């Protein structure tokens, strides 16, 4: 089993969970990982070089998903921003967020992931795209979905266990993440309060509204 691993902070709790999940003898499946940014993992999944991954919402259409995603839980997400720029600049690591900026009519430079969170923490001028989406539609925004090509039962089991797990990030993992991203441990924990993973009814409504808006761009 090859899993596409995106090492953004928003998936840190999931990676901690999966480390424990794959240690369970009943779940051990020789899990291997291919790392990359969202845009790269999208391509690897589409070409079947990975069996499952969190796929950008816009690229997840038509694929089976486990009902897990990366979702803006509150009225902001802090890691998907548009910052001032003389011309529109897309983030090459992104697929969904670039389109979201267009759907919302926001001009500037798109920033996603850990570098966007670092920018946010500087308290400089920015537009949080999840905040703007929520203000317009009163719905959460789904940035990615856990998609898979096969082994539906496995991913249903992962979803069920992950959503009820009391995940505590070990100190050494938090310190490693802080060193890698140059974001203080407490800021990482604060940020994770803004992320949700269950694709519930409101999340599905938000996702459908986004797809419709993208279709209307054409």
pLDDT in the model for residue 191:
97
pLDDT value, residue 79: 97
pLDDT of residue 109: 96
Q: Which CATH number fits domain 2-201: 3.40.190.10, 3.40.50.10190, 2.130.10.10, 1.10.1060.10?
A: 3.40.190.10
141-176: per-residue pLDDT in tens?
Answer: 999 999 999 999 999 999 999 999 999 999 999 999
Q: What is the pLDDT of residue 32?
A: 83
pLDDT of residue 23: 80
pLDDT score recorded for residue 27: 54
Q: What is the pLDDT of residue 31?
A: 73
For residues 6 and 37, is the Cβ–Cβ distance under 8 A?
yes
Q: Which residues contact 15 (CB under 8 A, 6 or more apart)?
A: 5, 7
Other Cβ atoms less than 10 A from the Cβ of 184: the count is 12
Over the chain (218 residues), the average pLDDT of each successive run of 10 is 93 95 66 89 95 96 97 92 92 94 96 96 91 96 97 95 95 97 97 97 97 91
* Model pLDDT, residue 90: 94
Q: What is the pLDDT of residue 30?
A: 65
**Long-range interactions of 205-208: CB distance < 8 A, separation 24+:** 205/139, 206/133, 206/137, 206/139, 206/140, 206/141, 206/142, 207/57, 207/142
Q: What does the domain layout of the chain look like in residue ranges?
A: 2-201
Residue 73: the pLDDT is 85
pTM > 0.85: yes or no = yes
pLDDT at 29: 56
């Amino acid at each position: 089993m090859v899993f596409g691993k995106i090492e953004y902070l928003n998936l840190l709790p999931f990676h901690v969970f999966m480390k424990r999940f794959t240690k369970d003898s009943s779940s051990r499946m020789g899990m291997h990982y291919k790392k990359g940014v969202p845009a790269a993992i999208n391509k690897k999944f589409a070409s079947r070089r990975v069996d499952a991954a969190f796929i950008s919402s816009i690229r997840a259409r038509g694929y089976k998903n486990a009902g897990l995603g990366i979702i803006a839980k509150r009225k902001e997400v802090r890691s998907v921003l548009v910052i001032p720029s003389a011309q529109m600049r897309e983030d090459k690591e992104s697929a969904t967020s670039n389109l979201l900026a267009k759907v919302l009519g926001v001009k500037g430079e798109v920033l996603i992931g850990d570098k966007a969170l670092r920018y946010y923490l500087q308290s400089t001028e920015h537009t949080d795209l999840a905040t703007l989406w929520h203000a317009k539609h009163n719905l959460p925004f789904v940035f990615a979905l856990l998609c898979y090509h096969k082994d539906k039962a496995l991913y249903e089991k992962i979803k069920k266990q992950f959503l009820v797990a009391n995940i505590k990030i070990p100190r050494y993992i938090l310190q490693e993440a802080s060193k890698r991203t140059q974001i203080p441990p407490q800021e990482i924990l604060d940020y994770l309060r803004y992320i949700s993973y269950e694709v519930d009814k409101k999340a599905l409504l938000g996702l459908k509204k986004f797809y419709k808006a993208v279709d209307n761009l054409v």
